[in-house]
Structure 1
Amino acid sequence: MTPEFVVGFARQAIEMTLVIALPMLAVGMVVGIFISILQAATQIQEMTLTMVPKIVAIFVALLLAFPWIMDKMITYTTNLFLNLPNYIR
């Protein structure tokens, strides 16, 4: 294993993690911005008003994106295990 291979392998794992987390992060950001605009317009500064909708929206996004996430994880893991003999060399 060369240092370039290890860095590339770590980079691929980090990219996969970011791609998998992207749907939930995007939904949380959009809901957070919407709630912030709503709070600024109505001058209601309640902390539960920001947290509860974000938690619910992220949970719904996770449920909707779960099949896609599992497909990405299974593909990544399958490729990892199939290429394991090549990595050991």
Structure 2
Amino acid sequence: MGTDMAVALTRQVLMEALLLCAPMLITACVVSLVMSLLQTITGIQEQTLSTVPRLVIVFAMTFVLLPWTAHRTVIYTRTLWTDLHRYLG
């Protein structure tokens, strides 16, 4: 395995991780922004008011996106094994 292949595999791993994490991270950011705006408008500065909805919504997004995440992971793993077999075998 050469340096070029190691760099390509690392790039693929990072891109796949980014694609799998992005929906949950974006959801958490949007919910945090909305809750912060609501807290600023109403003047309520309660920590649990911003934490609990964010946790519930991110958990729900994770549950909803679980089939897509599993499918992407299986496809990536098959591709990785095929590429490694081709290059090393």
TM-score of the superposition, structure 2-length normalised? 0.94
* Alignment-mate amino acid for residue 48 of structure 2: T
Distance 1:31 1:59 in 2: 12
Task: Give, in angstroms, the shift of residue 84 of structure 1.
Answer: 2.1
Superposed structure 1 runs of 4+ greater than 3 Å apart: none
- For the pair 1:69 / 2:74, whether they are aligned, the reply is no
Distance 1:39 1:25 in 2: 21
Unaligned runs of 5+ in 2: none
Distance 1:87 1:46 in 2: 56
Residue 2 of structure 1 corresponds to 2
Matches within 5 A, 1:10-89: 10-88=10-88
Give me the CA root mean square deviation.
Answer: 1.1
Task: Give, in angstroms, the shift of residue 81 of structure 1.
Answer: 1.5
Distance 2:47 2:18 in 1: 28
* Alignment-mate amino acid for residue 52 of structure 2: V
**Count of aligned pairs between the two proteins:** 89
Identity of counterpart residues, as a percentage? 34
Distance 2:85 2:19 in 1: 26
* Alignment-mate amino acid for residue 32 of structure 1: S
SS at match of 2:44: coil
Unaligned runs of 5+ in 1: none
* Alignment-mate amino acid for residue 47 of structure 2: M
